[in-house]
Structure 1
């Protein structure tokens, strides 16, 4: 039986905790724009003999294509800034270095955030990433090795920032508002992706490619200032929180353990099937995102549209994803606050919608290629409906182990990164065999992986705090 959260009403959208969610939204916005700025700027940074109109950079070289397919054709733009003779292989190393950095710190940063506090871990990660973004143009002049080192360290800093957020929500988010607060914060990723895709090329054209780093690095520094001033690990120690809101949060979280963590019960975690259900959900969810990665390629090769139209269409899924993330969180907490559904039912419902609906859209795509509008609608719905998982298994660690939520989020995202690596390799192989049948097999395989993750989660997923998360354990990490 799930633990029933308190239904006591507290301060609404003008409360401090929603202000924290907004700051996290812009922090996530900042990190994703810093992460992919090089993917946009490198088109102008790399020396080539082919001239091109920069006004179409943001639409003709989509974010996902640039970030995940670095071996694409590189063009030189007349920006007056320096250009570099970096081979496609070198560019591939540069692009992948930030991912390796993220992998290195996902798990340890989540563990450290639980001990030392997410405010300092996450804030420090955001600050380092912002400063390194500002330094990137200068580093490029010193050579590609320094750029690779900077991108790797930046990935490590962002890995610290991604996972630390859940430690904060474990103490700030009442159970009936977790979906709303976490989705408001998380939607910054999709919104940032849309913005960088739309304006990145325009910045390079009007000011020169270094300014894409200067602008988004500076925005990150501003977010850091807001972060260290406004964010506190615990509402009990925040100087600006109202008595009413503090009492509401404390009473809502009264059933959760609040003692400090000194060790991690690894053996208990390994044997915990509800935790493995979350991991399998992440694996399936991130596998499906390969469709977003290859979206520009699919539009170009199957629909045979011009690259300009392809770029415009490639930005639409990010708006759908951001909207569905926020709306899903609102609906999930509405169902809980009205006691219409149990917590575990809500988690499984949104997990089902987030895995089943994209799968249905994916398996339908190969049969509607003759209809332009139907194909476009399905391509937009896939990432949009997929983000409904944000109110399902993605925040489920806050339900079953709030004390270890950041640590477990790091492991969960590790499963997601593994899925991304495998799915990218499989997709490239299938498409190279035969374009038409290859795409069909890609969509069917994605749907099959989603169904596996969904069945596993429906079978073993839970929403009650696990026994190993209630008491202090002496098991060493």
Structure 2
């Protein structure tokens, strides 16, 4: 049950969907079926959060296949037979590996500190835009900022291979801009959930958007990791 702020009456939300406008008024709309607009919005937010999660963390998986680990170990002084890498637990590196094993490594000779710059650059941009765009989304609407942020994130994601070929700092810049684009996604998602989902369903729909997305992405990374190791 919900209280209508206009006339003080109560509304049975089992048969109506209640929308709260920005001015505080309540709009009632009769339910027309089991799948309403709020369910469609929730499903689209689920897909958007899944895409954002993948774009945010895919470099952590891809960098394993991009880096030439054999060349890095040789450059760090592991140049005689089978040696144990100091910063890894129980990993044995055979620098006399066969040609096939050498070719399995990536083409980029990035030291661990350079890899850290690549992996962290996204999150530097990510934290910058969350609060400002959360305020802007509340004031000017969230759909525009959500769409533009997703577009910037996706377009610059396509530039990652070319940026890696151009140089390490080009890649860092591209990942940083991706983070700037993804910053508005989370606050805009919360704003859309608050505006479209009734209070009695908000926790369930929010759990679907976040918990379902994480489960989907975990399965994606398990399959993707298996493919990389074949």
* TM-score relative to the length of structure 1: 0.35
Q: Give ranges in structure 2 of 5+ residues lacking alignment.
A: 5-9, 17-30, 72-86, 94-100
**Residues of 1 paired with 2:103 and 2:35: CA distance?**
47
The yes-or-no answer on 1:158 pairing with 2:182 is yes
Count of residue correspondences: 182
Q: Does 1:38 align with 2:59?
A: yes
Residues 1:147 and 1:33: Cα distance change in structure 2 (over 3 Å):
same
User: The residue matched to 1:49 in structure 2 has which SS?
Assistant: helix
- Which residue does 1:8 correspond to in 2? 13
**What is residue 206 of structure 2 aligned with on the other side?**
182
Structure 1, unaligned runs of 5 or more = 51-70, 207-477
1:113 to 133, 137, 140: 137
Give the Cα separation in 2 of the matches to 1:114 and 1:20.
18
Displacement, 1:181? 1.8
How much has 1:201 moved relative to structure 2?
A: 2.3
In structure 1, distance between residues paired with 2:109 and 2:216: 29
In structure 2, the residue matched to 1:266 is none
Kindly indicate whether the alpha-carbon contact (under 8 Å) linking 1:41 and 1:200 is maintained by their aligned counterparts in 2: no
Shift of 1:78: 4.6
Higher alpha-carbon Rg: 2
The answer to whether the 8 A contact 2:42-2:193 is kept is no
* 1:399 corresponding residue in structure 2: none
Give the conservation status (yes or no) of the 8 Å contact 2:150–2:182. yes
Corresponding residue of 1:48? 69
Aligned to 2:97: none
**Is 1:191 aligned to residue 215 of structure 2?**
yes
Change (3 A) 1:203 1:134: farther
Report whether the alignment pairs 1:170 with 2:180: no
Alpha-carbon distance between aligned partners in 1 of 2:104 and 2:37, rounded to the nearest angstrom: 44
Q: Once the 2 structures are TM-superposed, how far is the Cα of residue 13 of structure 1 from its aligned partner?
A: 4.2
Which protein is richer in strand relative to its size?
2
Shift of 1:150: 1.1
Hey, what's the Cα distance between the residues in 2 that align with 1:203 and 1:77?
18
Determine which structure has the larger helix proportion and give its number.
Answer: 1
Q: CA deviation at 1:112?
A: 1.0
Distance 1:201 1:179, change over 3 A: same
Alpha-carbon distance in structure 1 between the residues aligned to 2:155 and 2:108? 22
Residues 25, 187 of structure 1: 8 Å contact kept: no
Tell me the TM-score normalized by structure 2. Answer: 0.70
Distance in 1 between the 2:126 and 2:175 partners? 10
Structure 1 residue aligned with 2:155: 131
Describe the shift of the 1:196–1:20 C-alpha distance in structure 2 as closer, same or farther (beyond 3 A). same
Contact 1:26 1:188 in 2 (8 A): no
